Structures are given as structure tokens and as C-alpha cells.
Amino acid sequence: MEKDAFLWWQEAVFYHIYLRSFMDSNDDGLGDICGLISRLDYLKGSPDSLGIDAIWLSPFHPSPDNDFGYDVADYCDIDPRFGTLTDFDHLIHEAHKRDIRIMIDLVFNHSSNQHPWFKESRSSKDNPKRDWYIWRDARLGKRWPNNWESIFGGKAWEWNKATQQFFYHMFLKEQPDLNWRNKKAQEELMQTVRFWLDRGVDGFRLDVFNLWFKHQDLPDNPPRIGLRGYDRQHHIYDIDQPEMVEALAGFRNILNSYPGSVSIGEFLGNKPKIAALYCSEQQLHMVFNFDFTGCPWNPKVFQENILEWELALGDFCWPCYVLSNHDGPRRHVSRYGKRHPDQVAKVAATMLLTLRGTPFLYYGEEIGMLNVPLRRGQLVDPVSRRYYPFHSRDQGRTPMQWDATQHAGFSTGNPWLPIHPKYESRNVKSQLSDPHSVLSFYRSLLQLRRECDALRQGQFVPLQSSPKLGLAYLRSEGDNHALVALNFKGKPIRIQFDCALPHDSWKLAISSHTNSDAGIHGKEMLLKPFEAVIFFSDG
Ligand code: NOJ
């Protein structure tokens, strides 16, 4: 790729804000837009800022909160609990002033059952909006229209007594799927896209976009072995239908008329080859890779994953990486760093911020935020309640830990989810004043990334074919090279490179250890326990 061909979103670091947990401005225990505005300087624009480039904001539309905002009751408004459209305009203004771009969530596979469209649709069989959702009779001699299952558990069909038909929902029954084959519904959704672009947003995260179309005839999915009903089917008729290509092209045309706007798709399946089908100049800019959210703490597995995505995406699609998000049962420091959370957080951050691709940080990971252990009675998310204790999303969605005051400075009201019991020792304020904290390390990494072209634009070149104890790779851009080495173990290790380095002289740019003596000696280097280092080619 030509040097000047890099686009802002390829070089940017995104920060994912789960709005209701970020900052509360009106003491109701829920994060909101004004709260976020009051914390923008933390993200960018002041000497103490973290230094991110863009925010992805989780849904803030009016919603009955069956799926905490992913059940939208009005696509063109703000839930009063989060603010007003005027607050939103203010957010855009304040963010742009600091050179932060704002991306919002588009939840277009389904709406809430409280959306006026669905209320009309279910009111009678001949209502003009009936066909905006997917209604069917049971198949002759069968109990259901087909065998499809909801990914959240149970059948994907819900009976509507008044009109004596079933409607389809891939998620909760309160989240009926929209019918993308209905042109009017499709056009109305695209109007929403224009509405937010006109208000100044810089792009969208598309919620489960590869479910928009279902096979026209709704055939049964074939069976396979699996634990839950949903896993016991091959999802060949309810996911990834060919009509997606044209729908995404229409969506992209709109984005193209707002230069600089960007899209990133969340898709079910997480297969790199499928991701590659959806990223191009006619489709999405990027598609999420969630593999890291489930990887064991094993350098070989991470490297295999990186190489698999690099190969599948090739030169035409741009990778992106995520370690934690609002759907994961556990934040990555809780997954990997039980006994050494800070050390592991620094190693993971060094990897995330030095791979070829766009990193997405999840709010709080920069202070090494951990899951909050919750009892069943404390859970509010229906999915977490259903799958407790095996899978809980609430534990990784808890309020941001700003300082050591009551409720961690998040709110003076009663927070909607409990705060981590150890927030007094793990919070933004204390870490900002500690040069060795996880937060200070993230800030330094982000600074290095901004200064070094090779870290943002360089090719990814692994230095070991089968890493066992740690990872080592180059990011190479012309004659500039950055060498990254990561020790995944709590003991000193020796990393042997399988190939000669492109340079003889290297300068240590950063180490996660204050008293590092890491150096490159021919084809090997020594690293301290959980040490992460970056070297730059010298001269
Ligand atoms: C993916 C979102 O990330 C998740 O939180 C939500 O429950 C489902 N899509 C349904 O919208």
C-alpha cells in the first residue's frame, strides 16, 4: 500500500464507550451524554489525556432496555435518561474541537417490540407495516414456521395471539427482526443513516449486519453437533445471505457522500474469509475480529490468529483488533491476569497497539479494569441471567473507576451496576499520578504509535515460526522498523528469532519494566518476567 494511501481510520485508535457506565452527570446512577462530555479531556485535548482518536458510542436511543439499548424504540432520538439531541450536538462539537471522531451504533437487524413500526406491524395482518417484520404461519403439520433458534436461547419464533401468526427474532422476543426484503423499511433505515451523518457523526458500528437478510423461503437449517439448540444447527439460511452485498453497497454509497465517514461491521461467525467478503471500497471499511476476546494466553494461538486474518484480508481489507468488549463474559485482564493484572495488562496493550490494524480499546482497559464478581440477584442483563454462572455480560459492563471517592467518581447516585470493590486502589486519578501505572504505560504506547510510522503503517513480520513463551515481530515501513517482543510468562525468557533482522543497530523505545536491560544480541534477546518492549531501528 502506498504511504499516502493510509486513511484516518487505519491509523486511528478507537475507544469503545459503554455510555451508561462511563460518567453520570445527573446523579441517576446511569452514565449519560453530558457526563461523557465532561470527561472528553481525559480522552484527548489536555496534557494528561490518554490520546485516542475516535469514540465508538454504544446505543443511546429510546429503548425499553430489554437488551440495554440494543432494542431500539426510535432510531432518530436520544433516550431522555442519556440526554437530548441538543446534548448530542454539543458532544459532536466538543469532540470535534479536540479532534476526536464519533461513531455510533446502528442496530438494524431488529428493533424493539416497542418501536412504533412493530406496534403497527403487529396490529393487523393488512397493516401497511406488516411486511416490515417477518411474519409466518406454522408450516403444515409442524409446530413452527421452521426450525430456527434464537442465539439468546429458545425458539426464534414468537406467537402473536391477536393476529394468529408467528414473528421471527434472532435475539430476544422483544427484539423482532426487521424484514430487509421490504424496500420501504430499507429506505427508512437508510434515512436514519443520513439523519445522523447530517448531525455530524463520523461513522457507524453496524450491529450483527450479516443477519439482515434471511433466505427468502426460510428453509430449515441443517443439524450439527452442539451444546445449545442454536449451536446444533448450520446457520446457512439465517446468516450471510447473498443479498447483503447489494444492501451494503447502498449503505456505502451514502457514506461516500460524507467524505471521511467510516463503517465497521460486527458479524456473527467471526470467520476471516467471510470478513474479507464484506470489506471493500463498495462495502464496509472494516469488519471486527473478535478472536482475541476468546484466545487463551498463549503466544502461539495469538500469532496463528494474526496470521490467519492477515492472510484472509490480504492487501485490500484492513484488520482491526479487540481484546475486550461489552459482550465478553470477562474483560481480558480478568481472563489473563489473575495473579499479575498490571503486568499482563501492559503486555496485552503492547500487542494490541502494535499490530497492523486498527485497535479498539474498551473503556477502562487502560487502567487494567477487572470484572466485578456479581451474584445472580445483581444481574440485570437477561442473557447474563439466563446463562449464569457460565456466561455473564454484566460483570464486564460496570461503571468506570475515575477516583477513590464514593462510587469511584462515576456518580453521586446509586450506580446501575455495582462498582468494583477495589476501585479505591484502581482508578484513573491514582494511575495518572503514578508513572509506572497501567494508564501511564498506555499513554506512552499511544504516544509512540503517533510518532512512529512503522507502528501504524508497517508490514507485520513475525520473527518466530512457532512462538512458545512470548511473541516477537517487526513492523516494517521502508527503512523504518519497530521490533516488538512480549514475554507472556512470569519468568525470564530467551527469545530466539528464526530469521536475520533487517538492521544491526536498535534502540529501546519503551519497556514495561522500569529497570529494563533488554537488548538484541544477534538473533536473540532476553526478557524479564512479563516484559514488553519496543525497539526502533537506529540510524
Ligand atoms: C451484538 C451486541 O454487541 C450485543 O450486545 C447485542 O445483544 C446483540 N448484538 C443484539 O443486538
CA of 169 to the centre of ligand 1 (A): 13
Instruction: Retrieve residue 366's grid coordinates.
Output: 487502560
Q: Which atom, in ligand 1's list, is nearest to the CA of 70? A: 11
**Measured between alpha carbons, how far is 423 from 210 in angstroms, rounded to an integer?**
39
d(C-alpha 121, C-alpha 136), whole Å: 13
Could you tell me where the DSSP H helices lie in 401-488?
Answer: 428-432, 438-451, 453-457
Q: In the CATH scheme, what is the code of domain 116-168?
A: 3.90.400.10
The answer, yes or no, to whether any atom of ligand 1 lies below 6 A from the CB of 67, is yes
Which fold does the domain 3-110+183-372+435-446 belong to in CATH?
TIM Barrel (3.20.20)
208 CB under 6 A from ligand 1?
Answer: yes
171 within ligand 1 shell (Cβ under 6 A): yes
Cα(464)–Cα(131) distance, rounded to whole angstroms?
55
For residue 492, the CA-to-ligand 1 centroid distance in Å is: 41
Residue 243 identity? E
What CA–CA distance (Å, rounded) separates 378 from 370? Answer: 17
- 68 Cβ inside 6 Å of ligand 1: no
Nearest CA owner, ligand 1 atom 3: 327
CATH 2.40.50.180: does it fit domain 458-537?
no
Mutate which of 20, 103, 107 for ligand 1? The one with the most ligand atoms within 8 Å of its CB, which is 107
Q: How far is the CA of 69 from the centre of ligand 1 (A)?
A: 9
Are 470 and 459 spatial neighbours (Cβ–Cβ below 8 Å)? no
The predicted structure's pLDDT at residue 4: 55
The model's pLDDT over 274-288, given as tens digits with 9 standing for 90+, comes to 999 999 999 999 999
Helices 341-352 and 438-451, axial angle in degrees (round to 10): 10
Question: Measured between alpha carbons, how far is 518 from 532 in angstroms, rounded to an integer?
Answer: 10
| Alpha carbon of 138 to ligand 1 centroid (Å) | 28
Distance set, CA 155 to CA 95, 159, 233, 395 (Å): 43, 11, 12, 27
53 lines ligand 1 (CB under 6 A): no
Catalytic residues: 207, 266
* Ligand 1 center from residue 207 Cα (angstroms): 7
CA-nearest residue, atom 2 of ligand 1: 207
State whether the beta carbon of 366 lies less than 6 angstroms from ligand 1: no
Q: How far is the CA of 70 from the centre of ligand 1 (A)?
A: 6
Q: If DSSP codes are grouped into helix, strand and coil, which group holds residue 395?
A: helix
Residue nearest to atom 5 of ligand 1 (CA): 327
pLDDT tens per residue across span 90-99: 999 999 999 9
Ligand 1 pocket, mutate which of 20, 57, 72, 171 (most atoms under 8 A from CB):
171
- Mutation probe of ligand 1 site: the residue of 267, 287, 327 with most atoms within 8 A of C-beta: 327
Asked if 364 contacts 349 with a C-beta cutoff of 8 angstroms, the reply is no
| Ligand 1 binding pocket includes 107 (Cβ within 6 Å) | yes
How much of the chain is helix, strand and coil, in % rounded to 5?
Answer: 30, 15, 55
Q: Across-strand partners of 462?
A: 473
Q: CA dist 442 to 145, 346, 354, 367, 458, Å?
A: 51, 8, 12, 8, 20
Give the domain ranges of the chain: 3-110+183-372+435-446, 116-168, 458-537
First to last CA, the chain: 24
CA distance 79 to 105: 14
> Residue 331 gets which letter from DSSP?
-
Q: What is the Cα–Cα distance from 73 to 65, expressed in whole angstroms?
A: 10
- Backbone φ and ψ of 228, nearest 5°: -100, 165
Q: Which ligand 1 atom lies nearest to the CA of residue 107?
A: 11
- Ligand 1 pocket, residue 65 CB under 6 Å: no
152 Cβ below 6 A of ligand 1: no
Residues of the chain with pLDDT under 50: 1-3
Joined together, the cell numbers standing for residue 258 give: 460524507
Neighbouring residues of 324: CB distance < 8 A, sequence distance ≥ 6: 293, 330, 331, 332, 362, 365, 396
